[in-house]
Structure 1
Amino acid sequence: MITKAIVRTPAADMASGITGADLGKPDMKLTFAQHEGYVEALRKAGVEVTVLEAQEDYPDSVFVEDVAVMIPTASGVAAIIARPGAGPRRGEVENMKSYLKTFVSELFEITDPGFMEGGDVMLVKDTFYVGVDKRTNQSGCDQFAAVVEKLGYKCICVPFENGIPHLKTEMSQVAENTLLIAERFADRPEFKDFKKIIAPKGESYAANCLFLGETLLMPAGFPKTRAALVEEGLNPVEVEMTEFRKMDGGLTCLSLRF
């Protein structure tokens, strides 16, 4: 059950950030409104939300999930400070590190030659699945595994070369033992024990949902995906994400949750 989240206000220059999408530049007035809607959706789900001020020097800094991973422990919450594979984003780390130092019981860091981004990390029950790709390398995954295994978790590295930013770009947990997953990942052995809902053709963006334990958030505007979730007995809450999509951002990217 997710009870707390940390988000960051978008930088005014978010449009100059890193993206592989060809959807045009975000409308910043609408971006700020959608971010407020996201925060409101979390709060309506019973999540206590801390909103950090914008990091104006870092246009991608609204995507806070990439710079740290929160880990529930028996004594509270630990955090692993990431080392983004996207070099221009590494300056975001120190600000978040300083904030989390006063908040978590244990703080760990990914170090050179490893790099890792939180968008590649999916926690389901007691297992972390970590994508190994352009943004997270094998050393980063190995370092992450060494930490979480000491904290009582399992870790499975999931190498892929699919031209997407992160593992969670095309998969997410949507119920206790159910994944919403893009077809290209559906037959991967790492996920053989899950029930799977295959993201409908043309709606792979919607595979990045946000499961809060009792509430499921999904991006608005994907009727086939919504119908597939409803058919499985789920009742997703839609959140407008059009402007963040233009920057390769999804629902999970916008918060650190614990």
Structure 2
Amino acid sequence: MTYSWKRRLDNGSTPELSDWGMSSETDLLEKVLVGPIDHYSWLGGNSTSRRHLKNGEPYDINVAKVQYQEMLDAYRQADIEVHFLQARPEQPYGVFARDNSVMTPWGPIACQMYSPWRRSEWLTVAEFYQAHDVPFYDVVTAGTFEGGDFMLVEPGVAICGCSGERTSEAGVNQVKSWFEKEGWEFEIVPFDPHFLHLDVQFILVAERLAAVCTAVVPDSLLKWLKAKQFDIIDVPYKEAMELGCNIMALGKERVLLPKESLSLKQQCLARGLTVLDPDISMITKGGGGVHCMCQPLKRSRS
């Protein structure tokens, strides 16, 4: 059977997948795709990594590998099936599996990366989906589009950041048009490239609960979340820039977050959530946290 690079129906009403796919970032996580740590190192492609490189802080790959395993142990403790992308030396930021594809109810979308050292990653993720016979919903062909900016808020509602760099206007508008054909609401949030991706400033923690660095996100986003009746946990700017807002909702009132995310951890516990908090500080200093390192493959309504 010929592999499908586009199962999206041009006029909408694309059938949902059964064994793969998701419609909300806070539904029960069953399967996750994780990037490899093998060739990871800090590169100066974002404000976080540039700050630590400028300060002369040492990077230790062995420490990063131990912390990576701690994160994987947390997923397995939560009974989540973990899949891996192949390690390639020319893809040092391939560990951040969030960016090179995004999952939808109808299958994955292949993204277009902004940084030159990440542009080959779509081949690696395509090989994974082909090997598991997961057809692509479609492939972004207009501008840039990265998964760290994109989130499925709830069935029928998606949101995407647009800095003009990691995700460009052309890229986000192409994906927006696809979702609107499927009958979804699609909100675009403009922000300064300093913040890299939307998931540095804003993340979904649980149903109707979001972590937001209110000091930096546009007022329009706060107004939009209020209209959606979201409870907001305010994350301080300093913690947000150290990836303290970059967490993973696991479903069933559980959340995976970095050990250093102290403010958010306290607020989650106060709301009765179960918190898994591996130390990934050697990884986050390169500009990505637990949300950046994983792509949900299957979530189900709990």
**TM-score of the aligned structures, taking structure 2 as reference length:** 0.78
Q: Which residue of 2 aligns with 1:207?
A: 245
CA distance in 2, matches of 1:9, 1:35: 9
Task: Describe the SS at the equivalent of 2:113.
Answer: coil
Q: Which residue of 2 aligns with 1:219?
A: 258
Q: Which residue of 1 aligns with 2:23?
A: none
Report % sequence identity: 26
Deviations 1:126-162 (A, max 9, x none): 2221000121011111111122334453321111116
Q: Which residue of 1 aligns with 2:176?
A: 145
Q: Which residue of 1 aligns with 2:234?
A: 198
Q: Which residue of 2 aligns with 1:116?
A: 145
CA distance in 2, matches of 1:111, 1:137: 12
Contact 1:17-1:60 at 8 Å conserved across structures: no
CA distance in 2, matches of 1:106, 1:173: 25
- Could you say what the CA RMSD is over the residues aligned between the two structures, in angstroms? 1.9
Matched AA of 2:246:
N
Does 2:101 match 1:68? yes
Does 2:281 match 1:246? no
Structure 2 residues not aligned, in runs of 5+: 1-27
Task: Flag the 1:166–1:118 CA change in 2: closer, same or farther, 3 A.
Answer: same
CA distance in 1, matches of 2:257, 2:35: 20
CA distance in 1, matches of 2:247, 2:122: 25
Structure 1 residues not aligned, in runs of 5+: none
Task: Flag the 1:240–1:103 CA change in 2: closer, same or farther, 3 A.
Answer: farther
Matched AA of 2:114:
G
Contact 1:17-1:59 at 8 Å conserved across structures: no
Q: Which residue of 2 aligns with 1:43?
A: 76
Matched AA of 2:217:
F
CA apart distance, 1:217: 0.7
Q: 2:125 aligns with which of 90, 96, 103?
A: 96
Matched AA of 1:50:
H
Matched AA of 1:253:
C
Task: Flag the 1:9–1:87 CA change in 2: closer, same or farther, 3 A.
Answer: same
Contact 1:15-1:25 at 8 Å conserved across structures: no
Does 2:194 match 1:155? no
Q: How many residues align?
A: 253
CA apart distance, 1:232: 2.2
- Greater relative CO (CA pairs within 8 A, separation 6+): 2
Contact 2:90-2:117 at 8 Å conserved across structures: no
CA apart distance, 1:186: 7.2
**TM-score of the aligned structures, taking structure 1 as reference length:** 0.90
Q: Which residue of 2 aligns with 1:28?
A: 61
Deviations 1:65-103 (A, max 9, x none): 110001124xxxx01000012233111111211221343
Matched AA of 1:37:
E
CA distance in 2, matches of 1:38, 1:82: 25
Higher Rg of the two aligned structures? 2
CA apart distance, 1:16: 4.1
CA distance in 2, matches of 1:65, 1:210: 11
Q: Which residue of 2 aligns with 1:3?
A: 30
Q: Which residue of 2 aligns with 1:173?
A: 204
